[in-house]
């Protein structure tokens, strides 16, 4: 949803958009959009102003906002992660499997992050506009 919100802001960069407008554009609840915009603002990707004349807009060029930055702003953990710590596992086999999986996940996350780093919001917008008639 963060990518959707940023793509909408990039597509209509002449003005600020309210959370209601963004929510309507991505078919979700404005409360969800406000939560996402808050995370994006904390990361410096959007600037927002509250109040009746408020709204949000991109804080950076869409050419500079990578999908990796969007993911990191919204999600506080890697794409692949082990949901528990191996330190509490008593069985040595289970500890070894957990450690092995963590290593595999770290490699996969590095590859995913590298791929997302190479794609920008501007590229997403351009791809979506190609599909329009």
What pTM value is reported for the model? 0.84
**For the chain, what is the domain count?**
1
- 4 vs 93, more confident: 4
**pLDDT tens column, 71-81:** 999 998 899 98
> At residue 12, what are phi and psi to the nearest 5 degrees?
-125, 55
Average pLDDT, the chain: 91
Give the CATH number of the domain where residue 35 resides.
1.10.10.10
User: Range of 56's domain?
Assistant: 2-130
- Residue found under tokens 């330190």: 87
101 and 82 Cβ atoms separated by less than 8 Å:
yes
Q: Find residue 57's DSSP bridge partners.
A: 47
Biggest CA pair distance of the chain: 60
38 and 22 Cβ atoms separated by less than 8 Å:
no
């Amino acid at each position: 949803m963060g990518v959707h919100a940023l793509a909408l802001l990039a597509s209509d960069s002449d003005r600020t958009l309210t959370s209601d407008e963004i929510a309507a554009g991505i078919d979700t609840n404005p409360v969800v959009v406000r939560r996402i915009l808050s995370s994006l603002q904390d990361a410096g990707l959007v600037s927002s102003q509250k109040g009746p004349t408020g709204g949000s807009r991109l804080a950076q060029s869409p050419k500079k906002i990578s999908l990796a930055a969007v993911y990191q702003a919204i999600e506080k953990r890697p794409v692949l992660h082990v949901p528990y710590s191996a330190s509490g596992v008593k069985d040595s086999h289970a500890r070894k499997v957990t450690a092995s999986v963590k290593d595999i996940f770290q490699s996969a996350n590095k590859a995913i992050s590298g791929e997302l780093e190479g794609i920008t919001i501007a590229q997403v917008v351009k791809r979506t506009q190609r599909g329009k008639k």
